[in-house]
Structure 1
């Protein structure tokens, strides 16, 4: 470490300094998707615009948390380096998600500290004089370790419009307060050996012991041959949003 304050916690992990950065909530809100109480038709795409652009070079980290259930895919960031303006994602058009309310909450986090300091506070800067931490930041607390190969086949799935969807699940925290890192998990399609298809992920109604997902195939014999393989983890804001 060259700049900052370094400490270790009870598990001997490094905490905040200029090298070991922390994720800070930059914006948050709610989204409407699916067959909501106020929509006469199914909303298939949720579009989020940030109150002000996020000016980091790297894309921000997007987290989603359905109110009850929701299965989503194709999350795309809007804008570009230094001017990230929002994101959008799509609804998995498979029962029951295509006929129910799949709305929820979102937050976006960056490794840059943007909060103004309180009157009495700790502020850390790096070698470029960028603020990397201030006590007023609302940090993300990781409540589940990153997982990228924790998927196992379950008994969910089925055929929709000529695509055979195999269901997968991974262990989750059991808490409705936890968001999942969606910008990596939903960030694109996967090649399953024969075709390239979407990989929707999210939660089933009333279930938070597992995070669920689907991988599609064009023929039934290819079902269950591919997994998502992308990294995600559970997190929640340190303070209420």
Structure 2
């Protein structure tokens, strides 16, 4: 057995709240970039590393037609396709282990058998704010009751300028799209998704309800509750950047790839076409998928159908693949969902 090094904390009930031998807590950097109106825009961001997770998200509420531009990240650079002239939120999650940001920064860092953990006084960590469940889609064969939309209202608005991150999972089948977060910067109130059931493509499972679990994660807020156990880190202004009372959004088990390939059969019908794309997933039913960019629409400015819906999720009985579709009613110049930024997560504590 390999030696283990690092830090472990427990709460008043003896439950582990932080364990650097099993958890990789990754730092979060957030920034805004303005679209330049071009077809492809390249932005220098030195903080992006080869192993970074980069999420490009909207900062507005456009209801069902809220869109995000396809985005690709390479070390030191972000590429946006048809970003328009809107301002976009960029979130960079790292594996930890980078040098602390500047003289006077402080925090904790641990390494355990190649698992690196860094919690510092500058970068924030993702914590679970709210969680719950949804039942949407067809309600059984022959049922006239179809719940097309899933609507969630948070117990209290989330007051970050950035949209909170919404993660989705399901007991089995899940095909959703038209995702958007309700509210405005500084007052995010909930989110909405739409069910897409395709019996012809996915079998009779598509006739039954989609039992979906979700959680909402955002960075730490200054008034986060603490107790007498564990560890806490503050920045130079006294704001907490980490506390073990919070439920961390873990980022350990990521898929081997972070891009899609054109695979699987398209969904076709009268005046309807949706191209198919897939990527290998984690294989675990415990992993949630980030909804923010993946299940929102794409804006294809030069076409007669500029706003196109991306929808998808989990095929019946499978977690080895993430299935996505991009609608294109006339079937001409179909798009794939490449460039939709995403990652897997699960809560550290049960929800």
Q: Return the index of the structure with the highest Cα Rg.
A: 2
Give the secondary-structure state (helix, strand or coil) at the position aligned to 1:155: coil
Asked if the contact 1:146–1:231 (Cα under 8 Å) also holds between the matched residues in 2, the reply is: no
Give yes or no for the alignment of 1:201 onto 2:312.
Answer: yes
User: Aligned in 2, Cα 1:219/1:187: closer, same or farther, shift over 3 Å?
Assistant: closer
Aligned-residue Cα RMSD (Å) equals: 2.4
Asked if the contact 1:58–1:81 (Cα under 8 Å) also holds between the matched residues in 2, the reply is: yes
Of 113, 118, 129, 1:26 maps to 129
Q: Structure 1 stretch 50-59 or stretch 119-128: which is displaced more?
A: 119-128
Q: Structure 1 stretch 2-11 or stretch 118-127: which is displaced more?
A: 2-11
Tell me the equivalent position of 2:181. Answer: 77
Give the secondary-structure state (helix, strand or coil) at the position aligned to 2:293: helix
Q: 1:50-199 counterparts in 2 under 5 A?
A: 50-95=154-199, 96=202, 99-113=207-221, 115-142=224-251, 143-144=253-254, 148=258, 150-191=259-300, 194=303, 195-196=305-306, 197-199=308-310
Give yes or no for the alignment of 1:6 onto 2:117.
Answer: no
Separation in 2, partners of 1:202, 1:174: 13
Q: 1:40-55 counterparts in 2 under 5 A?
A: 40-55=144-159
Give the secondary-structure state (helix, strand or coil) at the position aligned to 2:139: coil
Task: With a CA cutoff of 8 Å and minimum separation of 6, indicate the structure with the bigger relative contact order.
Answer: 1
Separation in 2, partners of 1:72, 1:12: 33
Q: Structure 1 stretch 54-63 or stretch 98-107: which is displaced more?
A: 98-107
Separation in 1, partners of 2:256, 2:237: 29
Asked if the contact 2:324–2:337 (Cα under 8 Å) also holds between the matched residues in 1, the reply is: no
Name segments (4+ residues, structure 1) moved above 4 Å.
145-148
Query: 1:79-133: CA deviations, max 9, x gaps?
Result: 1222211010111253357632122100000111564212123211223322211
* Count of matched residue positions in the alignment of Structure 1 and Structure 2: 238
User: Aligned in 2, Cα 1:165/1:122: closer, same or farther, shift over 3 Å?
Assistant: same
Asked if the contact 2:180–2:192 (Cα under 8 Å) also holds between the matched residues in 1, the reply is: yes
Separation in 2, partners of 1:169, 1:61: 22
Give the secondary-structure state (helix, strand or coil) at the position aligned to 1:20: coil
Structure 1 residue runs of 5 or longer lacking an equivalent are: none
Of 179, 198, 219, 2:330 maps to 219
What is the deviation of 1:156?
A: 2.4
Give yes or no for the alignment of 1:231 onto 2:341.
Answer: yes
Tell me the equivalent position of 2:41. Answer: none
User: Aligned in 2, Cα 1:193/1:228: closer, same or farther, shift over 3 Å?
Assistant: farther
Give the secondary-structure state (helix, strand or coil) at the position aligned to 1:218: coil
The TM-score with structure 2 as length reference comes to 0.62
